[in-house]
Structure 1
Amino acid sequence: MLIKDIFTKYFSEKRDDIIFYNVYEERISFQELKKDVESIADCLSKTEAVHALDYVLLQIGDKKEFLSLLIALFYLEAIPVILPVCTGIAGLEQLQKIQSEHPGILILADEEGEKNLSSLSEGNLIPLNIRKIKPGMELDRGLRAKGMPDESLIMYSSGSTAEPKGTILTAENILSAIKIRNDYYEVSPSDKFMTWMSLEHIVGMIDFLFVPFYNGCSCIYSEISSFLANPKEWFDILEQYQVTITAAPNFAYKYMTDAIEQGEYWDLSSVRIMMNLGEPISRKIITDYLHCVSTFHIEGENLLCIYGLSETTSGVVINKAHCTKKLLESGRIQSKIDFDMEHFDHIKEDLICQGKAVSHTQIRIVNEEGKEIQEYCIGHIELKGDTVCKGYFCASNKKMLQDGWLSTGDIGLMAEGELYVIGRKKDVLFSYGRNIYLRDIEYTVSKYFHLRNVACGENIPGRGESYIYVFAESAEVNSEKLKTEIKHTVLKELGIKIQDVRLTDKLSNTKAGKISKAEILKNIMAIGVRLKKKEADRVKMQN
């Protein structure tokens, strides 16, 4: 089965309208969508703008335009390259890097994408606007970047923790991921899927585009900006449209808990699956959330804790039980890697059982030498299975697997056949002879101050020190008192000195709504350069 067959089948029968909700409802019938898809595919084909296996990079800001163009490219058996619309220099640099590694790659944009690229590149980069391509136009194909027959889609990760990487997904990856969800979620054509997560994110793409279209389900698409501005709109939509399947990253559940006021009520009895995925999951946040929504007909069994990555075509470890009921027997835990057990002692009560691997997927925990270790031992998480991607979309990183095993970059352990994720190994700094885990700091700030926050830092090898910064969302952006209290609390609880606390009314977000640690790290690096220069000047003066 080809990817285009999913959409050919979808359009072969009468379907419900697709709903786009951004403050107001906008409906598109399946006939209108089909007509638009065929029109775009016809233009791209007749002008020879796109051939089979061409890499085509999308810069589409509008969800409706994105959906039409994406399906049209699958019709033409081209390979869409999904990169969030460039809104700043970082995005432009990422796009230019892709261009340099894949000369001749075609860039298709809508009005927003064209305007942004033209402005950011000062007119040096003008993409092809999909609405300005007309049959009969003569387009110079020139040299075009082309992929391999087994490649179907390139998905760039959200870049919440590092520079985004393009994962090469095959038809087998995508179809296997759909089958897993059909089995685990027991999807039927009567289901109604709703998300405010971006379709450019792996969760939006797999769980809320491919799965519902494959099964002929109803779709309601909202916007991350709408959720952040008014979190309760999510529940309004779930109730109004009798949604059965929805999802959000962990932070959204805290947003909802904080936003819901006493006496408010929504009938969410239609919701049978509410996924928590896309970032580390907090037991405390989920426990507080379930308590808050207990009168809305949302039970613990409705909330699925899911673990996965772009590299695994979304979630591959699912807990279908009540995710907060199972506690880890912490007395049996030991570490088989360079890991400070004090960190585990601090966060153990906030860890949640992620569940077991889905069918045709294996998990193993390995030590520093890549050897598999026993249960209840902390190590590096590796995954293997039908949904693990082919490689990365750059020449230097295509061979990313070792004997089929993907190193996730996460630290965790197995207990009774189930996975517990402790954190990212890249979120560790070494200072004064000890490992410092940034999640400990984030957890402490969240626990005592109830602020959405992120901890970042940089090692300064020349001095054997680490500079650690906390960025937090707060209405009190100029409160020196709050900054001091955060520093003192982290020092008291963890014995960690915070270099500075930066308060802002809004942290940088990825398209999925998660905090963009990569963007914040760029600011840290700039700070680090200034610190190193300051230190060099000081040494120079002493000499």
Structure 2
Amino acid sequence: MPTDFVSHVRTQVAVYGDDRSYVYHREVGRELVAETVTYRQLDRDARALAVWLSTRPEAAHPVMLLYVDGIDFLRAFLGCLYAGVVAVPAPVPHDGRSMQRVATMFADADVRLVLTTSAVAEPLDSWIRESGLAAPVSVAATDTAALGHPDRWRLPVLDTGTLAFLQYTSGSTSEPKGVMVTHGNLLHNAAAITDAIGGDDTVTVAGWLPHFHDMGLIGMLLSPLYAGGNLAFMSPTAFLKRPVRWLQLIDRYRADMTLGPNFAYDLLARRIPDDQLAGLDLSSVRVALNGAEPIRPRTLDAVIDRLGPVGFRAGAFLTAYGMAEATLLATAGEVGCAPKYLDVDAAALERHELTPQAGGARLVGSGRPFGCDIRIVDPHTGREQPPGRVGEIWISGGSVAAGYWRRPGETAEKFHATLDGDGPYLRTGDLGVFDDGHLYVTGRLKDLLIVNGRNLYPQDVEEAVRDVHPALTGSAGVVFALDTGQHERLLVIHEVRTALIDDLTLPALARRIRVCVARAFDVPAPSVVLVDRRGVHRTTSGKVQRSSMRASFLRSRVDAVLHEEIDPAVQRLRTTTTVPA
């Protein structure tokens, strides 16, 4: 039994060689051009890069991978694994905020070498030199570099505890944390995923997910290789431009598995016209995994209704729950069975009680644990909750990562919890409850915002809003998410220093805020409420009170309102939501 991921990949290469492949669909103009790479070719490229990395002294530090396209990234990622080098997947920065986030990752991981392609190497090199990093950083284009001879590669000393890569959390642009994923974590979670989907070496996966996120990296890129299957994929941009391309990929390659966050399935239901569905056959889909963000019953129902006529079955949906700190997957539903819904008393849920009620608030089941032990714990007392009580989700098992890179205090707090002397457990920060063996995720302990599959911290958005205009700088603002029943939507409430607004109107200022947040964080434009000075609630120490402002908004009791730009779905919540006093 392999004790490192590289040895397992090498076994798969020996068994399947040129019989299994990854097909990447690269955008060329308006067309997608297929590029096919077999297991044997991936292995050869990885060995060549690993030999070259062994000559680079900078590779003694974690190496950052900044790639636009997934197939180029995969070659580099495997090369790092083959060399025993710690990889740091990251998005190519494209604006000031993303540049700041990646620069923070550089400093946190002490990166000295960046791998990329020639198409973006020069601008990256210029940006790095101008960013004022404390340590020198080299940029290398792996598509043009003179790599080593693959036959000179030798397997380094690796085992289950060897650090494979750092998966930086996407929540905070100001202080991202590197989750330390080991070779043992990768093997354990890939096995759990294969078990959860009922997969084997006949699996063909189709997808488009970002390669620098855990779901795209492990769920889409690495899982087929682990199982001995095939992958057909494209970039997130290619999907977002024309969502039907995802379905066309499934149809063309007769894929039996795909995966994505809830918002992507919602796009399928809303943005694909009838004429684009004509002629498609989705009957090959056995598993359509839905995870990474809150799963909406309306979205599941809408997709089943919309795609049912072209062969998509309700039992294909596989709802799941997981996180980077658990490598990826922790729970999943039952293959071939429609998603489980549970209608509950909303008021009881606010008291952390699970009370079934016909016509009540509808929860979606995230399935049973795979390869891990999950407990529901009172986050304040540290005691396990009785059945039917909501608490914090705690996870233990081989998929739980080694901790946060160079953050011993946060690692101890998050990864080393104990329950009646047993452990360690990972404290997820999520709230949930079990019913009939299935996990139902009910909310979040902290102010984390999850919109369109991305985790955002409100303070990051609030900071960006303050920089929009001098009339906002130095004033208080809050950002929170509201569940409209189909999506989570952001709401910004911000004070305005009217003396500094000059010739700009309040509606124009609100529009600037909406555009700024949408572009900076890749989310739908938020609703905006502009208020006069001191209109935002604060504690005695001066901290803003988000929960208090949220309650005031839902009761239509926000003080000193100057102007509003409210999404209709959000507006409806003000008349239908009951907020506890």
- Which interval holds the TM-score relative to the shorter structure? 0.7 to 0.9
2:8 is the counterpart of 1:9: no
**2:361 aligned to 342, 345, 349, which one?**
349
Aligned position for 1:307:
321
Indicate conservation of the 8 Å contact 1:243/1:270, yes or no.
yes
Aligned position for 2:411:
398
Q: Which runs of 5+ in 1 are unaligned?
A: 137-146, 430-435, 471-479, 497-543
Mapped partners of 1:101, 1:303: distance in 2: 38
Aligned position for 1:128:
139
Whichever residue aligns with residue 390 of structure 1, its letter is A
Indicate conservation of the 8 Å contact 1:194/1:246, yes or no.
yes
Aligned CA-pair RMSD: 3.7
Q: Per the alignment, do residues 393 and 284 of structure 1 end up closer, same or farther by CA in structure 2, a change over 3 Å counting? A: same
- Aligned-partner SS, 1:11: helix
**2:46 aligned to 29, 34, 37, which one?**
37
1:53-202 correspondence runs (5 A): 54-103=61-110, 105-111=112-118, 112=120, 115-116=123-124, 118-119=126-127, 122=130, 124=132, 127-131=138-142, 133-134=145-146, 150-159=162-171, 164-202=176-214
Give how far 1:160 is off: 7.8
- Structure 1 window deviating more from structure 2 (263-272 vs 29-38): it is 29-38
Say which structure, 1 or 2, has more relative contact order (CA 8 Å, 6+ apart): 1
Name the TM-score, length of structure 1 as normaliser: 0.75
Give how far 1:148 is off: 11
Indicate conservation of the 8 Å contact 1:445/1:453, yes or no.
no
Mapped partners of 2:292, 2:570: distance in 1: 29
Offset from partner CA, 1:86-111 (integer Å, 9 cap, x none): 22333333343344444464333333
- Aligned-partner SS, 2:293: coil
Give how far 1:394 is off: 3.0
Aligned position for 1:424:
444
Q: Per the alignment, do residues 300 and 108 of structure 1 end up closer, same or farther by CA in structure 2, a change over 3 Å counting? A: same
Mapped partners of 1:495, 1:121: distance in 2: 53
Mapped partners of 2:298, 2:12: distance in 1: 41
Give how far 1:175 is off: 0.8
Mapped partners of 1:428, 1:49: distance in 2: 35
Aligned position for 1:27:
35
1:447-462 correspondence runs (5 A): 460-461=538-539, 462=542
- Aligned-partner SS, 2:188: helix
Aligned position for 2:289:
275
Mapped partners of 1:90, 1:182: distance in 2: 37
Mapped partners of 2:287, 2:343: distance in 1: 24
- Aligned-partner SS, 1:409: strand
- Structure 1 window deviating more from structure 2 (388-397 vs 260-269): it is 260-269
Give how far 1:260 is off: 3.1
Q: Per the alignment, do residues 459 and 109 of structure 1 end up closer, same or farther by CA in structure 2, a change over 3 Å counting? A: farther
Whichever residue aligns with residue 28 of structure 1, its letter is T
Mapped partners of 2:54, 2:338: distance in 1: 49
Offset from partner CA, 1:96-150 (integer Å, 9 cap, x none): 33444444643333332552352375365653213365479xxxxxxxxxx9963
Indicate conservation of the 8 Å contact 2:371/2:399, yes or no.
no
Indicate conservation of the 8 Å contact 1:50/1:76, yes or no.
no
Q: Per the alignment, do residues 487 and 218 of structure 1 end up closer, same or farther by CA in structure 2, a change over 3 Å counting? A: closer
1:184-263 correspondence runs (5 A): 184-262=196-274
Give how far 1:4 is off: 1.5
Indicate conservation of the 8 Å contact 1:44/1:133, yes or no.
no
- Aligned-partner SS, 1:116: helix
Name the TM-score, length of structure 2 as normaliser: 0.70
Q: Per the alignment, do residues 77 and 101 of structure 1 end up closer, same or farther by CA in structure 2, a change over 3 Å counting? A: same
Give how far 1:490 is off: 3.1
Percent identity among equivalent residues? 21
Q: Per the alignment, do residues 154 and 484 of structure 1 end up closer, same or farther by CA in structure 2, a change over 3 Å counting? A: closer
Offset from partner CA, 1:349-396 (integer Å, 9 cap, x none): 332111211133323232422211112222222222211111012324
- Aligned-partner SS, 1:168: strand
Q: Per the alignment, do residues 331 and 115 of structure 1 end up closer, same or farther by CA in structure 2, a change over 3 Å counting? A: closer
Offset from partner CA, 1:169-207 (integer Å, 9 cap, x none): 112211111111222222222211111001211112212
2:428 is the counterpart of 1:408: yes
- Aligned-partner SS, 2:299: helix
- Aligned-partner SS, 2:367: strand
- Structure 1 window deviating more from structure 2 (361-370 vs 374-383): it is 361-370
Whichever residue aligns with residue 492 of structure 1, its letter is T
- Aligned-partner SS, 2:320: strand
Mapped partners of 2:179, 2:448: distance in 1: 25
- Aligned-partner SS, 2:429: strand
Offset from partner CA, 1:239-278 (integer Å, 9 cap, x none): 0111111111001111111123346332111111110011
Offset from partner CA, 1:27-57 (integer Å, 9 cap, x none): 2332443343233222222355535xx4222
Offset from partner CA, 1:485-528 (integer Å, 9 cap, x none): 556423222368xxxxxxxxxxxxxxxxxxxxxxxxxxxxxxxx
Mapped partners of 1:445, 1:406: distance in 2: 26
Q: Which runs of 5+ in 2 are unaligned?
A: 149-158, 419-423, 450-478, 490-522, 530-535, 554-562
Aligned position for 1:371:
383
Mapped partners of 1:485, 1:257: distance in 2: 20
Mapped partners of 1:293, 1:102: distance in 2: 44
How many pairs are equivalent?
462
1:296-335 correspondence runs (5 A): 296-320=310-334, 322-330=337-345, 333=348
Give how far 1:67 is off: 1.1
Whichever residue aligns with residue 431 of structure 2, its letter is I
Mapped partners of 1:420, 1:408: distance in 2: 14
